[in-house]
Structure 1
Amino acid sequence: MKEFKLDNEPKITSGFTIPDGYFDAFSEKLLVQLPEQESKIISIFSSQKIRNFAVAAILILMLSVPIYTKYSTKQEEIDSVTLENYIAYQSNISEEEIVNLLQQEDLDKMKINFNVDDAAIEDALNSNSNLEQYIID
């Protein structure tokens, strides 16, 4: 392998040149351009900023807690059987009050039309020996 010596090869010039004596007076020129007075130091931890951040944090918490509780709680729908059992056995509301609270649409849905002839009713009553039970209930 042939040896390669950097010192012996001709060097490529970059094309950029510096005027003679440029860096001799550079530091003096730079010091003249700098401002003479020192800049004001502003503290990050000033009491006013801390107070403002505390107020902002409290406001964010106050607004986010109701939103979080609204969307985090899952509302389960009560099935109709459970609701009917509660109303029938646990509440102090009478049947008349419940009927007064219902709308006409609900009452129309509750109507049941029995297409039974009078003759069929008489036959059922005659065939059943427990006629007194029907009269009492």
Structure 2
Amino acid sequence: MFIHKLMCFLPLAALALPACAQQTESQAAPAQQGMVVVRDADTGELRAPTADEARALHPRTNASAAGVAAPAPKMVTGPGGRRSVQLGERGMVYSVVTRGADGKLEEQCVHGAHAADHAVQGAHQHGAATQEEHRQ
């Protein structure tokens, strides 16, 4: 009886192995960074930046200033083998509806909570909001 059950589950395990290996490879892949160079003002040659120049070229964002890194996308496996990815704030699209001066409702889709706050407050910065059509 045990051998019979083992023979049933062995092919399933063999089929799941490539998916597990692919998932661990994608999680283990380190983030790659590009090379940063500056042009020397005196000679015009490219060189590595000094520590002060490197800090000036990479301003700290709110998340890094607070010491909190943005969460990496997380793979979730649901019942029945369904897989989905939780993107966090990075993948959020907000639908903001405001009433214009003429009384008509204006809808816009914006990316991120900061852009949504600006849209609600009426600060329509050029390029901050993008018009998108979302179909279901």
Q: Structure 1 length normalisation: TM-score?
A: 0.21
Write 1 or 2 for the structure with the bigger share of helix: 1
Q: Structure 2 length normalisation: TM-score?
A: 0.21
Higher relative contact order (CA 8 A, sep 6+): 2
Write 1 or 2 for the structure with the bigger share of strand: 2
Bigger Cα Rg: 1
